[in-house]
Each structure stands twice: as C-alpha cells, then as structure tokens.
Amino acid sequence: MRRNQVSVRNVEDRVRELEQHARQIRIDIVTMIHKASDGHPGTSLSVTDLVTALYFDIMNVDPNRPKEADRDRFILSKGHACPCLYAALARRGYFSRDELTGLRSLESNLQGHPDMNKTPGIDSTSGSLGNGVSIGLGMVLAGRLTGNDYFTYVITGDGEIQEGVVWEAAMAASNIKRVA
C-alpha cells in the first residue's frame, strides 16, 4: 500500500470520528433545549461543526488540567450558543453529561450564557455581544507578556459583527505580528 493511501485512510477515519462527535453534540443540544423549554437551537446548532473540530481535533486542552497556562483558549462571543459549548465540554470530560439536563435552571452551572466562574472549561464569560474578539486579543497579548505559548479561538455571531468594538479589536490585531 502506498504511503499517501494510508494517510488518506487515517484522514477519512478522523473525519468519521469528528462527524460522530458532532452528531452526538447535536443530539445533546436539542435534548438540553427541549428539557429546559428555553434556549437558542439554531444558534447552537450552527456552530456545532466548528466547536467539534476545535475541541476534538485542533485545540490543545486537557479536561484534567483546565487551567494549564499553555492550554489553548476558546471564547464563544455569541454566548447564547452555549448549549453547543456545554455539550462539547461534557463530551470532552470537563464535567458529567448528566449536568446537561440542568441547562438554564437556577442551581445549575450551565446558565444561558457561559460563565467562567461557574462552568469548568469556560475561558471567558460572555453575553454582551461584540466583546469576544477584544477579549481574545487581550488573551493573546497576555500570553506574549507571560511567555505562554497558546492559541486563542473566538467564534462570533453575525449579529455582533457590526459592533464597533469588534472592528476596533480586528484593526488592533492586524497591527500586531502573529495575532490575526
């Protein structure tokens, strides 16, 4: 067998594995939102493939060391898509999948927007649209100042792209080598 055939097969296997994770996350999203009788299914489902690729293939994260200095960071700027993030974090092992049924309940760690003080694996609290890119840029700069080597990923929503703070952060990032 040729070398490139083996790598193609490995890629195909990896894609199938990611598709399975994404399918399970979608099931979790619909189940959570239905049980809570509240939430944003379209917004959550729209980022599933991106979040799956990040948490199960791209990002350097370890649920056993969620505060590791050199871990990659993720910011869900459109925080109302948090059911997707919660499902990915639970499937990745940050907390029990049993907690997913508590979405948006008073005693739950899984509120309507990500809260870094309540939910394991959340790198930034979000809710106010437009702040994610600025927070991400700040994390990148902090990493440089402290000598930590990590990537920061931000998912924004179309509704916040018109916010001035998004464009100010993007313009600032474009002037800083290796940030944008």
Residue 104 belongs to domain with CATH number: 3.40.50.970
Q: Give the HSE-up count for residue 171: Cα atoms under 13 Å, Cβ half-sphere.
A: 5
Is the pLDDT at 2 greater than 70? The verdict is no
User: Considering only CA atoms, which of 81, 61, 80 is closest in space to residue 70?
Assistant: 61
Is the pLDDT at 74 greater than 50? The verdict is yes
Is the pLDDT at 76 greater than 50? The verdict is yes
Which residues, 6+ apart, have CB-to-CB distance to 96 below 8 Å? 90
Residue 109 belongs to a domain? yes
Tens digit of pLDDT for each residue in 114-138? 999 999 999 999 978 889 999 999 9
Residue 160 belongs to a domain? yes
Is the pLDDT at 87 greater than 50? The verdict is yes
What pLDDT, on the 0 to 100 scale, is given for residue 29? 98
Is the pLDDT at 3 greater than 50? The verdict is no
Split at pLDDT 50, 70, 90, the class of 175 is: confident
List own/partner pairs for 114-120 with CB under 8 A and 24 or more apart: 114/76, 114/79, 114/82, 114/85, 119/86, 119/89, 119/95, 120/63, 120/66, 120/89, 120/94, 120/95
Is the pLDDT at 62 greater than 70? The verdict is yes
Per-residue tokens: 42: 């379209």
Residue 55 belongs to a domain? yes
Which residues on adjacent β-strands are paired with residue 71? none
What pLDDT, on the 0 to 100 scale, is given for residue 129? 84
Which residues, 6+ apart, have CB-to-CB distance to 177 below 8 Å? none
What pLDDT, on the 0 to 100 scale, is given for residue 8? 66
Split at pLDDT 50, 70, 90, the class of 180 is: very low
What pLDDT, on the 0 to 100 scale, is given for residue 64? 97
Split at pLDDT 50, 70, 90, the class of 7 is: low
What pLDDT, on the 0 to 100 scale, is given for residue 159? 87
CA separation for the pair 94, 109 (Å, rounded)? 12
Residue 131 belongs to a domain? yes
Inter-helix orientation angle 164-174/132-146, to 10°: 30
CA separation for the pair 94, 33 (Å, rounded)? 20
Query: Per the structure, how many domains does the chain have?
Result: 1
Residue span of the structural domain in which 81 resides: 3-174
Mean pLDDT on 102-110: 93
Residue 136 belongs to a domain? yes
Residue 83 belongs to a domain? yes
Residue 108 belongs to a domain? yes
Residue 105 belongs to a domain? yes
